[in-house]
Homo-oligomer: A and B are copies of this chain.
Amino acid sequence: MGETWANLGVDLHLETGGEASRHGVRKGLTDALREAVRGGRLAPGTRLPSSRSLAVDLGIARNTVADAYADLVAEGWLTARQGSGTRVAMGVPPGRAEPRARGRVVSPPVRPAPPRRQGGAPTYDLTPGSPDLASFPRAEWLKAARRALAAAPHGALGYADPRGRAELRTALAEYLARARGVHADPDRIVVTAGFVHALAVMGRVLRARGEREVAVESYGLDLHWNLLHHAGLRTVPLAFDALGTDVSGLGLGPGSCSAKAVLLTPAHQFPMGVPLHPDRRAAAVDWARRAGGVIIEDDYDGEFRYDRQPVGALQGLDPEHVIYLGTASKSLAPGLRLGWMVLPSGLRDEVLAEKEATGASCGALDQLTLAEFLTSGAYDRHVRAARLRYRRRRDQLVEAVAGRAPEVRATGIAAGLHAVLELPRGTERSIVQAANWERLAVHGLSGYRHPLSTTPTRDALVVGYGTPAEHAWAGALGALGRVLP
């Protein structure tokens, strides 16, 4: 219990005066507290001052402190218990990932059929996974490309650093720390040709270490499972319940999954749309530390949260046991084929060797352009505008569903580019079929369920409200309304 709370307010060095907005103060306080925990200045178990007294110390509103505490509880840095106040979460200090033990084979290979559109070309597209491509900032991107190419040394066009361009890794380190709470350092970042390239590389790294299986979520993309399977790994699904993916299935005890790696979508489960519960974030990290395991964090749409500050990346909790994977596919466009990994310190050489074995890298021009896009602020501006647009669409979707189909419930948090609409039991298939007749492309949830999952099935639609162009959105929403019960 190194530090008492008495001097916490002074120690945080918060900028609260002048032009700082309430939003800015909350973020500043959250960042400062997170850094104090991460850096060890606030030891595990330390009890924090009440929100009231810290607010008085800092001269800020009590709600701002309460919000910051809530953010950090959601991210797993703090715990809040009735009668025990707010404390720094327990856990051993971050350590280096240990070499993996050989895994056992416990499940057959998985090759589920991909979810398909039923029928010909649809008029409306509400399939998930894509942002609104019509709003890709073409002119801004070209401007950034022009600036980036004008500034690039000739060597930038040659055979490349296998980690990716330094300009981009530097820009990403700054951005990911600021926007996603990632403990990033340009030397730990490896740029890839999209998220799936990064996942393919990680699958090969695990296999080269002798692993035979990877734990995954009960719901996800068969494309990802197949990629891991192709790398020689079985995928073992963890159960899913109201708190998100049940990471207690990972473990060292009897009956638990023996995988030493788990693929998670902590900020926004895909496609179920819930964040991983704070206790489970902490439990996952705790498992990784005790078992010498590794968490692969798929942070595909972490930028898009509409009701509050986004939950920070799980990687911030323990950069030595979490491999953070990000992508420009949701924030900009999948066609860029740009992704990135933030790696534990001991993993870089293995990752670079396996990346080299895929023979593939992302082109230098797109890397330089994204670096310029990030550092010039164009990326932030684009994400802010997109966030407003998607938030409005989500609100309209929820409203339309409530108005037209009271039996249907939009679940999950207000975030990302898709929503799950829970349907009356036994109706999913017929509703997808009805959508087909309306020339509306929409996916049922069943196509996203791991075939070995023991979690009870549900009937639901996964609605990608990010997908349509603006002009097509109202029509798509109308078509959806017509097919709901």
Contact = CB atoms under 8 A, between A and B. Distances in A.
Interface of A: 129-130, 133-134, 136, 138, 141-142, 145-146, 149-150, 154-160, 192-194, 196-201, 227, 230-231, 333-338, 356-366, 469
Instruction: Pick the most buried of A145, A196, A356, A365: most chain B CB atoms within 10 A of its CB.
Output: A365
A136 B136 CA distance: 27
B358 A157 contact: no
Given A193-B359, A363-B366, 16 more contacts: A133-B155, A141-B149, A157-B336, A158-B335, A160-B337, A192-B359, A192-B360, A197-B358, A200-B359, A227-B359, A230-B357, A335-B365, A336-B363, A337-B361, A358-B358, A366-B366
A231 B357 CA distance: 8
Given A196-B359, A333-B157, A365 B366 contact: yes
B142 A159 contact: no
Nearest to A363: B337
A366 B159 CA distance: 16
11 contacts: A129-B159, A138-B149, A154-B469, A200-B359, A227-B356, A227-B357, A230-B357, A336-B363, A337-B361, A358-B359, A362-B363
A155 to B, nearest CB: 7
Contact of A337 (B141, B335, B364): B364
A268 to B, nearest CB: 19
Contacts of A159: 129-130, 334-335
Closest 10 CB pairs of A and B: A200-B359, A360-B360, A335-B364, A157-B333, A197-B359, A157-B335, A196-B359, A193-B360, A230-B357, A133-B154
The SS class assigned to the A binding surface is helix
Contacts of A157: 133, 136, 333-336
B142 A149 contact: yes
B360 A337 contact: yes
A158 B193 contact: no
B363 A363 contact: yes
A335 B227 contact: no
A447 to B, nearest CB: 16
A375 B338 CA distance: 26
A24 B454 CA distance: 70
A472 to B, nearest CB: 10
A409 B99 CA distance: 53
A25 B50 CA distance: 90
Contact of A156 (B197, B335, B362, B366): B335
Contacts of A138: 149-150
Contacts of A358: 197, 200, 358-360
A155 B125 CA distance: 12
Given A199-B359, A359-B196, A361-B337, A158 B142 contact: no
Contacts of A334: 157-160
Nearest to A203: B359
A197 B360 contact: yes
A191 to B, nearest CB: 11
Instruction: Pick the most buried of A133, A141, A146, A201: most chain B CB atoms within 10 A of its CB.
Output: A133
A133 B153 CA distance: 9
Contacts of A192: 359-360
Contacts of A364: 333, 335-337
Instruction: Pick the most buried of A130, A150, A337, A364: most chain B CB atoms within 10 A of its CB.
Output: A337
